[in-house]
Amino acid sequence: MSQPLVHAAQVRKSYGSNEVLKGIDIDVEAGEVVCLLGPSGSGKTTFLRCINQLEDIQAGRIWVDGDLMGYRQKGARLHRLKDKEIAAQRREIGMVFQRFNLFPHMTAIDNVMEAPVKVQGRPRAEVRTQAQELLDTVGLADKAHAYPNQLSGGQQQRVAIARALAMQPKLMLFDEPTSALDPELVGEVLEVMRDLAQQGMTMIVVTHEMAFARDVADRVIFMDGGVVVEQGSPKDVINNPQHARTKDFLKRLRAEHERVAEAAADLV
Ligand SMILES: Nc1ncnc2c1ncn2[C@@H]1O[C@H](COP(=O)(O)OP(=O)(O)O)[C@@H](O)[C@H]1O
Ligand SMILES: [Mg+2]
């Protein structure tokens, strides 16, 4: 029987007395692209950080490819894994953040090569070949020797994606990867993500890019207030939301898009 690649069951997370995730159940099949939508503060980032154990959780369980993340179960009890064991689990998961987080003192190709060489201990020559191929696939073949400050935000974000892929992850997490970009640079990053989805990568993408969600996602999950409010095909959730909170969120998002479009038109 095939199990989902990501299986999150009744995940609870608090910061002090503030419960941010209130029992999240989310499954993601291998090869599936899931877009996670929801208003600011609904717990989307926290959930991604719990998947790769940048945060510990107070209750529930998260499995990635059959591995219980962050914990070892003995009988009914969970024991936190050692930092080293958690780091090993995290290595299998690529993450791309809103901010590009490239090492500023390294060229694009050195950024891509860093973890495979230093963390995986793979041979430099082999890693260099792979890194150059990855830069090709994200459309940056000619920028291998550029430093981050010589690249646009969109180019930096594409390097960040190549860097995550260099670790040959089984899962990619994207946390609003285009929301820090100038509007004209958003498309080139989404294009790379679309290609990755087509190649069969399993992806969880937090985004406000509805066109991307509609075209690329297999499933859309709407979160609010630390719970999953509704989920389904993009067509169902985006075009025909069932819950008032989803409707309200989408309405506000559309109004915001229109404001941005009008402001841009005014400039022309
Ligand atoms: N490190 C933290 N310490 C305390 N509170 C946090 C921390 N990170 C997030 N929160 C709180 O958790 C809630 C959910 O945040 P977040 O997961 O970032 O939401 P989203 O990504 O959906 O905007 C917010 O109320 C936020 O203030
Ligand atoms: Mg967030």
Q: Which atom of ligand 1 is nearest to the CA of 175?
A: 21
Q: Which atom of ligand 1 is nearest to the CA of 38?
A: 22
Q: Which of 58, 147, 149 is nearest to 109 (CA)?
A: 147
Give 175 Cα–ligand 1 centroid separation in angstroms: 13
What pTM was computed for the model?
0.95
pLDDT digits (tens, 9 = 90+) for 26-71: 999 999 999 999 999 999 999 999 999 999 999 999 999 999 999 9
The response to whether residue 56 sits with its C-beta less than 6 Å from ligand 1 reads no
Segment 20-24 shows an average pLDDT of 98
The response to whether residue 45 sits with its C-beta less than 6 Å from ligand 1 reads yes
Per the CB < 8 A criterion, the answer to whether 39 and 249 are in contact is yes
Segment 148-161 shows an average pLDDT of 97
The response to whether residue 44 sits with its C-beta less than 6 Å from ligand 1 reads yes
Q: At what angle do helices 124-137 and 108-118 cross, to 10 degrees?
A: 130
pLDDT digits (tens, 9 = 90+) for 195-209: 999 999 999 999 999
Which ligand has the minimum distance to the alpha carbon of residue 46? 1
pLDDT at 105: 97
Please give the mean pLDDT across all residues of the chain: 95
Helical residues (DSSP H) of 52-120, grouped into ranges: 83-90, 108-118
pLDDT digits (tens, 9 = 90+) for 129-142: 999 999 999 999 99
pLDDT at 268: 66
Say yes or no to pLDDT of 1 above 60.
no
Segment 163-186 shows an average pLDDT of 96
pLDDT at 166: 98
The response to whether residue 15 sits with its C-beta less than 6 Å from ligand 1 reads yes
pLDDT at 182: 92
List 37's β-bridge partners, or say none. 222
pLDDT digits (tens, 9 = 90+) for 75-116: 988 899 999 999 999 999 999 999 878 999 999 999 999 999
The response to whether residue 20 sits with its C-beta less than 6 Å from ligand 1 reads yes
Sign for the pseudo-dihedral over CA of 69, 74, 75, 79: negative
20, 95, 99, best to mutate for ligand 1 pocket (most atoms within 8 Å of CB): 20
